[in-house]
Amino acid sequence: MKKTSLKDIAQKAGVSTALVSYVLNGKEKETRVGEVIAKKVREIAKELNYQPNHLAKSLRSGKTHTIGLIIADISNPFFANIARVVEDEAKRNGYTVIIGSCDENADKSWDLLNVLINRQVDGFIIVSCEGSENQIQYLKERNVPFVLLDRHFPDIQTDFVATNNYKASYDAGIHLIKSGYERIGLIAYKSDMYHMVERIRGYKHALSDNHIEFDDNWLKEVIFETTERDVKIAIDEILATDHKVDALIFATYGLAINGLRYINELRLKVPSDLAIVSFGQAEVFDLYYCPITYLRQPLELLGKTSVEYLLKKLKNPDEGMKQILMEAKLIARDSTMAKSAWLTE
């Protein structure tokens, strides 16, 4: 049983397909279709359970009502969740989302981009990965609508929806300091990406604002591809120095997972041996024997806003540039318990 098309309806009603199209698109008024025949057409359409053919529509209109979502790393639950939000929000607006993960690899990202452009998505929402600036430039030049999500490039003027990473990181530092920790380490990725740079900057600023002299050995920047090994080395080093830290900030979820795993291995006690704050969010942080303090980014809002911006741009390509930084909220848990509390225990 084939799907019913405009033609089928037209035939059954004894009219042209044009007429049917007008009626079903609510253009009866402008095109002065007779009431009687309009009603008839609508009835037949319902009777035959007519569903317009998306492909034909898209081919004609050049609009696919599809959004391409490129995510730097879908295995990170933060991104996985944001993908869900984007998908839901898009669906609410009649859009379909095609998701692709580039696994923090610019080449893969480029491939994805091309596949999706080829599929004629109407626009993109992108969580960029390192080395993909040229891709963003390319989209700009070709006038493809897009919104950057969570990560953006300060040197490229684009729409974006992101978190104030400087502030978040700064807050993490302040929180630790207020809780009585003074020798605070940061494990981050070695990266030129702005969000990472900002996280490092915020951390350093929190120290300097509190007259704590930053020690070079406290900051470890690891390579994404060799995270597991590098994190172990980083922790070994950070604990071996003369300036051994008493608190540690993980700049991402992935770093935290690897770090905590190693900390368990070393049988270090959180927070007495080491206080912990992490970026990202996930059930792990709840279930760890000592629940982990983390920075909660406004996931829902980030996702929804990015869709909102993109759809606005799709409706009106001349819409002005939109950029917004949202605040993360530090959720304090036992992993950063006030030092006084466990010292006297």
Partner DNA sequence: GGTCGTTCATTAATCGATTAAGCATTTTGT
Partner DNA sequence: ACAAAATGCTTAATCGATTAATGAACGACC
Three-point CA angle 25, 28, 30, nearest 5°: 105
Q: Of residues 16, 25, 31, 120, which one binds a second copy by CB under 8 A?
A: 120
- CB under 5 to 8 A by kind: which of a second copy, DNA, none does 188 bind? none
- Output the six-digit token pair for 49: 């359970």
By the 8 A CB rule, do 99 and 43 touch? no
- The distance of closest approach from Cβ of residue 177 to DNA in the complex, given in angstroms and rounded to an integer, is 60
Q: From edge to edge, which strands make up the β-sheet containing 146-150?
A: 96-101, 66-71, 123-126, 146-150, 160-163, 323-326
Told to check if 25 binds a second copy by CB under 8 A, we report: no
How big is the chain, counted in residues?
345
Told to check if 64 binds a second copy by CB under 8 A, we report: yes
Residue number, 16 or 75, with CB nearest to DNA: 16
- CB under 5 to 8 A by kind: which of a second copy, DNA, none does 63 bind? none
Q: Which residues bind DNA (CB under 7 A)?
A: 2-3, 5-7, 14-19, 21-22, 24-25, 27, 31-34, 36-38, 50, 52-53, 56-57, 59-62
| DSSP annotation of 247 | E
Residue number, 41 or 282, with CB nearest to a second copy: 282
Peptide bond into 77 cis (omega under 30): no
Q: Of residues 257, 307, 310, 337, which one binds a second copy by CB under 8 A?
A: 257
Told to check if 78 binds a second copy by CB under 8 A, we report: no
The alpha helices in the chain, defined as continuous H runs, are: 6-13, 17-24, 28-31, 35-47, 54-61, 77-92, 106-118, 133-141, 165-178, 194-209, 227-240, 253-265, 283-287, 299-315, 339-343
Three-point CA angle 158, 147, 330, nearest 5°: 95
- The distance of closest approach from Cβ of residue 58 to DNA in the complex, given in angstroms and rounded to an integer, is 8
Residue number, 3 or 140, with CB nearest to DNA: 3
DSSP bridge partners of 161: 149, 324
Told to check if 75 binds a second copy by CB under 8 A, we report: yes
- CB under 5 to 8 A by kind: which of a second copy, DNA, none does 96 bind? a second copy
Distance CA 222, CA 232 (A): 10
Told to check if 159 binds a second copy by CB under 8 A, we report: no
Distance CA 185, CA 273 (A): 13
- The distance of closest approach from Cβ of residue 217 to a second copy in the complex, given in angstroms and rounded to an integer, is 26
| DSSP annotation of 114 | H
Told to check if 248 binds a second copy by CB under 8 A, we report: no
Residue number, 72 or 177, with CB nearest to a second copy: 72
Told to check if 128 binds a second copy by CB under 8 A, we report: no
Residue number, 13 or 83, with CB nearest to a second copy: 83
Count residues near a second copy (CB under 8 A). 39
Q: Cα dihedral angle (234, 72, 143, 322), rounded to 10 degrees?
A: -70
Q: Which amino acid, one-letter code, is at 55?
A: L
By the 8 A CB rule, do 222 and 191 touch? no
- CB under 5 to 8 A by kind: which of DNA, a second copy, none does 34 bind? DNA
Give the interface with a second copy as residue ranges (CB under 8 A): 1, 51, 53-56, 58-59, 64, 74-75, 77, 80-81, 84, 87, 91, 96-101, 115, 118-120, 142, 257, 260-261, 264, 282-284, 286-289
